[in-house]
Amino acid sequence: MTVWGALAGGLIGTVVLTGGLRVAQELGLTRMDLPLLLGTIFTDDRGRASLIGTALHFLNGLLFALGYAAIFAAVGHTGWWFGLALGVAQAMFAGGVLVTVLLPAIHPRMGSPWSDAEETPLLEAPGFLLHNYGRVTLLVTLVLHLAFGTIVGAFAAGL
């Protein structure tokens, strides 16, 4: 297992994840747009938000890849199948906690079930299991995170 391999996997995995999400959007499967969600923490200009968000998303991808590498090292096993298993855990964390609970809590432009008439949020919260962004958003997210985990695992193991 190499950290550089995991980082390379993280980079490519994020490309696949971001691209897959974009394709899913174009196919009308989901409204989930992670770069926009992340970028609008800092600006309400959609163009700039997408740029900032994309950069942040790739940074997150690399950080997660480092996390994967740490787990590989701690467990003493590396491989695409183990990456896939971690991808399941990451998808559950992202879909169940990160995007649905933590992001609305810190996002200055995102609504929540507690938003009332005093607030004018620009973004709707993803809702329970990302349901507000389309019925199959959770499935799309799961599949793409499985791909991410598999790629990181495979690269970390030297393919």
Partner 1 sequence: MERVGGYAPLRDYAVLGDGRTCALVASDGSIDWLCLPDVDSGAVFGRLLDAERGGSFRLEPTEPFESEHCYRPESNVLETTFRTASGAVRVTDAMTLADRTFRSPLRELVRRVDGLAGTVPMRWVVDARFDYGRRPARVERRGDRYVLLGRRDALAVKAWDAGTPAVVGTTVEGEFAASEGAVATLTLAAAHQEPLVYVRRSDAEQSLERTDRFWRAWAGRATYDGSWRAAVVRSALALKLLVYAPSGAIVAAPTTSLPEEIGGSRNWDYRFAWIRDAAWTLDALLRLGYDEEANAFFWWLMHASRISLPRLNVLYRVDGGTHLGEDDLDGLDGYRGSRPVRVGNGAAGQLQLDIYGAALDGIWRFACERGGLDRHTGRDVARIADWVCAHWRERDNGIWEARSGRAHYTQSKAMCWLALDRAAKLAERGWIPDRRERWTEQASQVQAFYQREGWSEERGSYVRAPDLQELDASLLVLSLFGCEEASSPRVLGTVDAVMRELGTGPFVYRYRGEDGVEGGEGAFLACSFWLVSALARGGRLDEATELMNELVACANDVGLYSEEIDPQTRDFLGNMPQALTHLALVNAATAIGDAESAA
Does the footprint of partner 1 cover residue 59 (CB under 8 A)? no
CB closer to partner 1 out of 5 and 35:
35
Is residue 129 within 8 A of residue 138, CB to CB? The reply is: yes
CB closer to partner 1 out of 19 and 158:
19
131-134, long-range: CB < 8 A, 24+ apart = 132/31, 133/30, 133/31, 133/32, 134/29, 134/30, 134/31, 134/32
* Residue range at the interface with partner 1 (CB under 8 A); choices 43-51, 72-80, 139-147, 151-159: 43-51
CB closer to partner 1 out of 2 and 132:
132
Q: Identify the residue among 74, 76, 106, 116 touching partner 1 (CB under 8 A).
A: 116
* Tokens, residue 18: 């971001």
